[in-house]
Structures are given as C-alpha cells and as structure tokens.
Structure 1
C-alpha cells in the first residue's frame, strides 16, 4: 500500500508540475501578446513568489486543522477550478491584464501549501531506510519535468496559442487530482486539541526550528544557499552570457539545460549509491557543499563557453547531492507531527528570501557587474560550508542498523 501511495504521490505531482509549466508558458504568451512589456512579464515571478509566501506562512494553521491529503486535494481541486474559469473567460473574450494578474496570484496562493504538504507526506509513504532513494527519485522526476516541460512548452508555443496551453493544463490538473485522491496516508490525523491563538500557531515552526540545533543549522544553511543560488536565475545568467561569454541568447538555454541535466545526474547518482550516501551522509553533504562553493566563486570570471557548460553541469550534480542529504536529515530527525510545520515555514520564508535576494543581486549585477555577483554567491556558499563543518556534530551519522529516535 505504501509503495503504491508513493507512486501515486510522485506521479500526481509530476502531472501537476507539467501543468504548472504549461500554465506559465500560456500566461507568458497572453501577457506578451497583450502588453509587449518586460515589466509586466517580470510581475509573473513576483506574484508567484508573493502568493506562495502568504500561503506558506499560514499553512501551519491549515495543517493543524486538516489532514495532509485533504490539503493536497483542496489545493489541486481549487487550482483546477480557477484555471477552468480563466480558460472559459479567455474563450468567451479577452482577459484584461489585471484579471490575469488576479488569476496568477490566486493559483500561487493555492500552490503555497501543496508543496509543504507533499514534502511532509513523502516520509510517511516510504521506509526510513529508503528516504535517500525516494528523495533522489522524486528530485529526478521534478527536475526532468522542469527541463522537459519548458522544452516541450517552448516547441508547442510556436504551434499553439496560449488558450490551448491553459486547456492542456486543465486536463493535467484533473488527472493529477484523480491520482492524489487515491493516496492512502498511513498516519491517522489527530486534530490538535486546546485553544490556541493563531499567532501562536504561526510561531510554532519558528520556535521548533530555533530550539532544535539540527533544524536550526539546516535552515540557516538553506537560507544562505537560497540567497547564493539567485545568481542562477534567468536574468543574471542572461547578462553573464552577453557580457562575459559574448555569446548569443541561445547560450542562456544551453547553460540552463546543462544545470538541469546536472541536477538530474546528481539525483541519479544519489539513487544508485543511496546506501553509501546514507552511511556517510554528513561527509557527502559537507564535501558537496565545498565543491559547489568552489565552482561558483570563479564562475563569473570564466570566459570559455564550453568550460562554463561543464562547471554549470558540475554545480547541478553537487548541489543535488547536498540538497538530498539536507532533506533526508530533516525527514529522519523530525517527527510526523513536526514536519508539516517545518515545511510550511520553509515554503513561506524561503519564497520571500529568494524574492528579495533576486532584487538585491539584480541591483548588484547592474551596479558592480555580473562577475562580482558570482564572487559574492561563492563566498556565501563557502561560508555555508564552514558553518556546516563547525556544526557537523549536530548531524547524526547513520548506519544500516540505525533506528530513528522519536523527538517530542
């Protein structure tokens, strides 16, 4: 039953992710055709980030009151309804830009609690000793969906209009909803008893992370990583390609593809060698963190295009190894009751951190130059590595006989 539910979870999320990519492609088509404005296109990631931040921050309240499966279903059903309304409105007549922004924000808002609910449910559907393999596999599926979705979407965009993309997304969302409905959550839901003020519920995740050394170290490292990884967003890579490599716009696509292929390769390596990784996970995590920092630090100075491709691929590989290790440590050491609150906080805070960091690094790129943006990013990542080394005792060492202790 657990393996079947795990398959339903990742396949349902895969279809939902494909739908999300196609929906974004369709919306970009709408916006550019209606406005031909870069500013309005830039509003898309802003609204996505802000919507996910808001819903991520209130997700602990929802998770205290509803089962994870109910939240997943509610999110997907609501997104399907909102998307169908947009598709019907567009079929009947032109959707104004403000109306389109409203739909973008609503879908981001509904999506904000789906990801933490999915992450919190995954450890319930696989055995503890299979978490590394499961996280690696889900990561491969997610990154392949991103890479393949944008590639397929780009090709389809030249043949189909935005309206068709919206309807394709609607079909994918409906199918995803059917699959998610069949998931069996083996952990019975227990609604928290006693009166709690909502502000206290919102603080639970912060308090839990700050008072538990392992969780605190993981999230400080994740925050530094989220800020540093802003240099890989499209706007900064585009400047790098033009100003440093001196290549055409196509190289932005090549670097982006190389990075995603690295993430997929890293997930595949973790999946194949999951036993070795689990038994020495702390060492692999710190080693991968160091390599990522050493790659990023000089990257902005590299002017040879093929070398940039190799470095981007290697960055993706080691970034994936580090990410799988951090995720697995968290899932092994947090209880089933703690994980939803932790992931809810992650979804909200990291969306805000990434959004603000994008603006800051964009300004630094324009003010100091793109090379310095990568140098600063590399310094942050190397600081993160030193931080992990100093706090390595916070991370337990696992073996084949390790049994996870319950945390209150």
Structure 2
C-alpha cells in the first residue's frame, strides 16, 4: 500500500529536479515569484487610487489601454534584445528600473494630494519595462537547466503564477484596507529590491551569436521562423483561441450581479487561479507525455467547454467549478506550449520567439475582454459567455484540422527538438 501510494504521489506531484539541481534556476524562480507577488500589490493599488481620485470607471479602464501598446512594442524589441545581449543583464537592469518606478509611486501616494498623471505614466512605463524583461527571463531558462528537465521547469514556472495569482490579490486587498495605498507600493518596492538581490547572483547568460544584421531584418527572421513551423504557429493560435474567446474576466462583476452574489466577486476572479494551482500541484504526469501538441489543443477545447458550462449554470458554485476547470485546463495548455517552445526553438531565436509569446499573451486577454464586453452589451452576459465558449471549441477544431503538425507533434521524433538538444550538448 505504501509503495503504491508513493508511486501515485511521484506521478502527481510536480518534479522539482530543476529547482533542486540548478542554483541559477532556483534563484531565477524565487526572484520571479517574489517580484510577481509584489507587482500584484501595485496592480491592485493603481486602479483603486485612480477610482478614488476620479470616481470614473472609464478612467480606471484606461489603464489597460495605456499598458497594451508599450507591452506589444517593447515586448517585440525585448525579444530581439534577448537574442543580442546578456539576458541576465537585461533582467537585472529592468528589475532595477521597476523598483525605481515603485519608489516614485510611493512618493506620489504620500503627497497630500496625489497627482493622477504619474499613475498612468507608471503603468505605461512598467508595461514597457516588463515587455523588455520577460523575453530575456524566458529565454534564460533553456540555458539554466538540462534539456530533459525543461518540461518540469516550465511546470514550476507556471506554478509560481498560480500561487501569486491566488494569494496576491487577497493579500493586497487586506493590506490596502488596513494600511492604505502607500503600504502596497512599499511592499512592491521591498519585493523588487529582494528580487533584484537574488537575480544579480545568477550567472551571466550572454548571447552566443554575433548580431550584425539590421533590427528589422532580425524581426523578420524571427517571424519567418515561426511561420515556417505550423506546429509552433498552432501553439500561438491555440492560446489566442482560449484567451480571446473563453476567458472574459471583464464580465465577472456583471456575472456576480446576475447571480445576486456581489460578495463572491473575489471568488470569481480567483477561481481560475485556484484551478491552475490545483493542476500545477498534481502536474507530475506532464513529464510522461511526449505528444505535446495534443494536450495544447485538448486543453483549449476544455477551456471553451467550461465557459459553455458556466453560461448554462444558474448556481454560483457551479459557475465557480467551471472557472476552476477552465483555469486548470489553461495551466495544462501553458505547460505544454512552454515545453514546445523551450525544447524545440534554437537558442539564437529564443528571445524573439519569447517576444511573440508575450505579444500573444498580452493581446489575447485584452481582445477577449473587448469582445466579451461588446457582445454582452448587445446580447447579455450569458450569451457572451456561451458564444465565446462555442467559438473557442470551433476554433480549436479548426486548428486541429488545418494544422495537423501540431496534433502530431512528438518531442521524441521532432527534428527541431533533436537539433536544440544537440546544440544544448
């Protein structure tokens, strides 16, 4: 009985070998977790402070518009930078700049009458800095852990997003209610400084190529590489199918009103994170899957099905269960997409590929909220949820038929994986 229990535990629990075996991955993971947790405090505080200063929902919603363009532009350039410069150095410098922004926000919040414009300026600058940073941090990972541990490393990286997404908003809300908005910025500043100290201890990760081509040509080179690989292109489109059609967080306040459960709004926001955390905590099985394209497509279909279920549910707890399922399925899709990216993309293109990933990851939720909001205004909340779920299912079926290379993708037989493995050796 004990041996059977141990085998079951080993199959379900995440593999921590990358965390235990690589000092640099451990430092990067811990630094990112601390930084992400602190950033959630600022992400919570800025909209609240704008609401207090203006009393306008439109002014609060404008924060997303201010953030989107810098994320896209600087994310793409950050991908190019990750292929040209020392990735650790880019991460350290941008982390230091983000800490300085937190200090400015804290100073503004401590004024007798805080100014409004620094909040928008800080939101836009933070989005630009994160766009520069994230491709370098993601492109570092294949250089910090052995090639055969990249699936486990991706699962552990997804785990930190789940942990922060579940605990961060609740902790930020409690702190702001108890000590005010300046306390949130102070926590964020402290976490950035601690994260920076850890990140500075990671060994340098310099570029392994000489970059002399014009910037535009290198952008085109990265885009052409993705376009030549239908399996890779399919991972981006599957992510868009889920986020554009089936993860409409903008509808949650209205859904809570319709369910006569405004008290449960926080539960609606955290349900997907809870599903992600549950999937991550039992995700040891992901390492034994070698046909990575299939779970990418199946998980996107599950997200769509869960949204259809949520649109039909009349009970709050049934809606929450559907959102938990959607969050867990999305975690599975993210894990296998990350595995395909990390295991099969050449190191000299990894930064630009990460820039494309950031573009998809940023544009998808923003377009999804816009789609859901406009459709809900015309047809109602339930129709927007149901239509989005059905479109996600239809989009996933179309991708499966149109891009069979993604469904057939097998890490054991993919020539791209073999080439990346040989280069890593």
TM-score by length of 2: 0.87
Match of 1:339 in 2: 350
Match of 2:145 in 1: 126
What SS class does the counterpart of residue 182 from structure 1 fall into? coil
160 and 29 in structure 1: CA distance in 2 versus 1, 3 angstrom threshold: farther
353 and 142 in structure 1: CA distance in 2 versus 1, 3 angstrom threshold: closer
Query: How far has the Cα of 1:110 moved from its partner?
Result: 0.8
- Output one character per residue of 1:96-151: Cα deviation in whole Å (capped at 9) or x when no partner: 11222112211111111222222221222222222222211221111111211111
- Output one character per residue of 1:211-256: Cα deviation in whole Å (capped at 9) or x when no partner: 222211222222222212342x1x302212222xx22212222222
Do the aligned partners of 1:31 and 1:97 also contact (CA within 8 Å) in 2?
Answer: yes
Match of 2:299 in 1: 288
Of the structure 1 ranges 319-328 and 168-177, higher mean CA displacement relative to structure 2 is found in 319-328
Match of 1:18 in 2: 37
Match of 1:149 in 2: 168
Q: Which residue of 50, 55, 59 corresponds with 1:31?
A: 50
Measured in 1, the distance between the counterparts of 2:293 and 2:362 equals 26
Q: Does 1:242 align with 2:257?
A: yes
What SS class does the counterpart of residue 387 from structure 2 fall into? helix
Do the aligned partners of 2:68 and 2:363 also contact (CA within 8 Å) in 1?
Answer: yes
Query: How far has the Cα of 1:388 moved from its partner?
Result: 4.5
Q: Which residue of 230, 253, 262 corresponds with 2:275?
A: 262
400 and 275 in structure 1: CA distance in 2 versus 1, 3 angstrom threshold: farther
Measured in 2, the distance between the counterparts of 1:238 and 1:83 equals 28
Measured in 2, the distance between the counterparts of 1:203 and 1:372 equals 40
Match of 1:356 in 2: 367
What SS class does the counterpart of residue 83 from structure 1 fall into? helix
Q: Does 1:101 align with 2:120?
A: yes
Q: Which residue of 163, 180, 188 corresponds with 1:169?
A: 188
Q: Which residue of 366, 386, 395 corresponds with 1:375?
A: 386
Match of 2:82 in 1: 63
Measured in 2, the distance between the counterparts of 1:296 and 1:64 equals 38
Unmatched runs of 5 consecutive residues or more in structure 2: 1-19
Of the structure 1 ranges 150-159 and 211-220, higher mean CA displacement relative to structure 2 is found in 211-220
- Superposition map of 1:393-404 within 5 A: 393-394=405-406, 395-399=408-412, 404=417
213 and 273 in structure 1: CA distance in 2 versus 1, 3 angstrom threshold: same
Match of 1:215 in 2: 232
Do the aligned partners of 1:2 and 1:184 also contact (CA within 8 Å) in 2?
Answer: no
What SS class does the counterpart of residue 279 from structure 1 fall into? coil
Match of 1:227 in 2: 244
Do the aligned partners of 2:243 and 2:365 also contact (CA within 8 Å) in 1?
Answer: yes
What SS class does the counterpart of residue 312 from structure 2 fall into? coil
Measured in 2, the distance between the counterparts of 1:301 and 1:219 equals 29
Match of 1:112 in 2: 131
- Superposition map of 1:313-328 within 5 A: 313-328=324-339
320 and 160 in structure 1: CA distance in 2 versus 1, 3 angstrom threshold: same
Measured in 1, the distance between the counterparts of 2:394 and 2:22 equals 39
Do the aligned partners of 2:242 and 2:304 also contact (CA within 8 Å) in 1?
Answer: no
TM-score by length of 1: 0.90
315 and 97 in structure 1: CA distance in 2 versus 1, 3 angstrom threshold: same
- Superposition map of 1:376-391 within 5 A: 376-390=387-401, 391=403
279 and 215 in structure 1: CA distance in 2 versus 1, 3 angstrom threshold: closer
159 and 325 in structure 1: CA distance in 2 versus 1, 3 angstrom threshold: same
190 and 129 in structure 1: CA distance in 2 versus 1, 3 angstrom threshold: closer
Do the aligned partners of 1:57 and 1:349 also contact (CA within 8 Å) in 2?
Answer: no
Measured in 1, the distance between the counterparts of 2:271 and 2:367 equals 26
Do the aligned partners of 1:285 and 1:325 also contact (CA within 8 Å) in 2?
Answer: yes
Match of 2:16 in 1: none
Q: Which residue of 133, 136, 140 corresponds with 2:159?
A: 140
Q: Does 1:309 align with 2:320?
A: yes
Query: How far has the Cα of 1:311 moved from its partner?
Result: 1.6
Do the aligned partners of 2:103 and 2:189 also contact (CA within 8 Å) in 1?
Answer: yes
Match of 1:273 in 2: 285
Q: How many residues align?
A: 400
Of the structure 1 ranges 390-399 and 101-110, higher mean CA displacement relative to structure 2 is found in 390-399
Measured in 2, the distance between the counterparts of 1:309 and 1:353 equals 22
Do the aligned partners of 1:282 and 1:392 also contact (CA within 8 Å) in 2?
Answer: no
Query: How far has the Cα of 1:25 moved from its partner?
Result: 2.5
Give the superposed CA RMSD: 2.5
